[in-house]
Amino acid sequence: MNKVQISDQADLSREDLAYLDWARKIARRGWGRVHPNPLVGCVLVLNNQVVGEGYHREFGGPHAEIVALESARSKAEGATAYVSLEPCNHEGKTPPCSQALLQAGVSRVVYGAAEPGIDEGGGRDTLTGGGIEVIGPVWDSIIGRTENPSFFHVATHETPYIALKLALSMDGYIGTSGAVRTQITGLEAEREVHRLRTGFDAILIGNGTLKVDNPRLTVRMAPRGR
């Protein structure tokens, strides 16, 4: 077996961080379609040239690493894989990504966040055991809390993830008194609310909102998710 290589963040260059950030950003394209899986992006770089990239597009579909490897083909050999989340080492609806990276001949893996949960991903150990240099986790707090809050919360606490949407006027009110519909937020905020809706299982409203607004609670101003 090849010598195990484990690196730390001190080995990261400015280019490494830029490519990892690229992977983080393309992962967002899967919002609303991959739940309960996390958003994941992957960028393959060889000789400082991007030779492949991909993101997890839908639940049950190929993971980001597989999509990136398929786009890179033979150019994946000797490349560095930048992945926003630790490559998985378990087989479910799709094969383990860590094994796919090994078989493709990737020489180095830089990942943002460790896979949370009781069964820790295990991808890091598999990759280093196969002789691949591994750097990570690099951005646990950023990736976990801002990119995949519901996935990390459920995996860590085993309780539902709840987000509160609250709109206040400049003087601290949420509306006028009486049964009168009042709109406080503008178009930009409304679009963001509809985008967020695609990534949640349910919407809870109060009795007053139901009586006054009678909202449809549908997604109308964003690409539909699952």
Number of C-beta neighbours around residue 206 at 10 A = 8
Q: Which of 59, 73, 68 is nearest to 87 (CA)?
A: 68
At 204, phi and psi to the nearest 5?
-115, 130
DSSP annotation of 4 reads P
- Give the catalytic positions in this structure: 65
Q: Supply φ then ψ for residue 127, to 5 degrees.
A: -65, -45
Report how far Cα 126 is from the mean position of its chain's Cα atoms: 22
Pick from 86, 36, 45: nearest CA to 64: 86
For the chain, how far is it from start to end, CA to CA, in angstroms?
43
Any idea what DSSP says for residue 131? T
